[in-house]
Amino acid sequence: MIFDADTHITPFCEYAVSSNADKMLRIMDEAGVDKALCWAHRPYSRNQLGEVLEYLYHAVKLHPDRLTGYGWIDPMLGMDAAKEMLKRCLEDYGFPGVKFNGCQNEHFCDDEEMVMPLLEEISKAGASVAFHTGGDAPDQTNPYRVGRIAKQYPNMKILMVHIGCGGASYDLSRAAIETAREHPNIYLVGSDIRTNSLLNAVELLGTERICFGSDAPFESMPVEVARYKAMFQTKLGNNDYESIMSGNIMRFLE
């Protein structure tokens, strides 16, 4: 089984890319991917985020065997709006958690005023959280900031998406690996990451908390599946390979 832990869908055509649910399912079929964790494809206008999340909710309801929804919060909309969106994601839509992207939404992932109060609500709800981490915003989305959050909320499961390589402009993967080694509640999604950095993560951290992700539609899902197979299928035992390709993200979402 293959469970892609990083995909984006939207009803809009953004960045000259169409990424609706039907297209995502076709891409999954082409790549041989059974299920996908889907969050928002950030809209040009941040005020349209609510429409994207509603679309995601209905797409997941139509295809529960293929798509798993995950929320998205933009703290720059203001605390009242962010809390309302968080409530909608967790209670109304039943998403298991929400994602923060400090690069695209222009905030620090551990901002004391805009983000930490929301994380407190997420922790109280028993939900999980995902963070974009990468060199495209090396200060705002630095893995060490995620480590600070993981230390404060040791019982909250955290996805560190891109293992510090998001945007590929600067590689923060060593910081991400060090952070994950210190905090067992952090899982890593190896999408939009250099091959050697991903191999290094497996060597230093093992296979129990690393998840396959393609970052579709920004990256080619079939190509990413082939890359993971080339890296791991013959070099790891079946159990370790299956853990990376599906088991770990399924355990994270439990």
Kindly list the distances between the CA atom of residue 166 and the CA atoms of 90, 109, 182, in Å, as whole numbers in the listed order. Answer: 26, 14, 21
pLDDT for 209 equals 98
pLDDT for 244 equals 98
Q: At residue 246, what is the residue type?
A: S
pLDDT for 17 equals 67
pLDDT for 31 equals 98
Within 13 Å and on the Cβ side, how many CA atoms surround 152?
15
What would the CATH number be for the domain defined by 3-252?
3.20.20.140
pLDDT for 210 equals 98
Q: Is the dihedral of CA 206, 210, 212, 213 positive or negative?
A: negative
d(CA 217, CA 111): 29
For the chain, state the CA radius of gyration.
17
User: Is there a contact between 14 and 44 (Cβ–Cβ < 8 Å)?
Assistant: yes
d(CA 109, CA 114): 9
pLDDT digit string (tens) for 216-245? Answer: 999 999 999 999 999 999 999 999 999 999
User: Is there a contact between 196 and 204 (Cβ–Cβ < 8 Å)?
Assistant: no
CA 126 from chain center: how many Å?
Answer: 18
3-state helix, strand, coil in the chain (%, to 5): 45, 15, 35
pLDDT digit string (tens) for 93-112? Answer: 999 999 999 998 899 999 99
pLDDT for 47 equals 81
pLDDT for 14 equals 65
Q: Which residues of 148-185 are buried (b: 16+ CB within 10 A; e: fewer)?
A: bbbeebeebbbbbbbbbbbbeeebbbebbbbbbeebeb
Residue 234 burial (C-beta neighbours within 10 Å; 0-12, 13-18, 19+): exposed
pLDDT digit string (tens) for 4-16? Answer: 999 999 998 766 6
d(CA 232, CA 244): 9
Task: Quote the pTM value.
Answer: 0.96
pLDDT for 44 equals 61
Query: Which residues of the chain have a pLDDT value below 70?
Result: 14-18, 43-44, 168-169
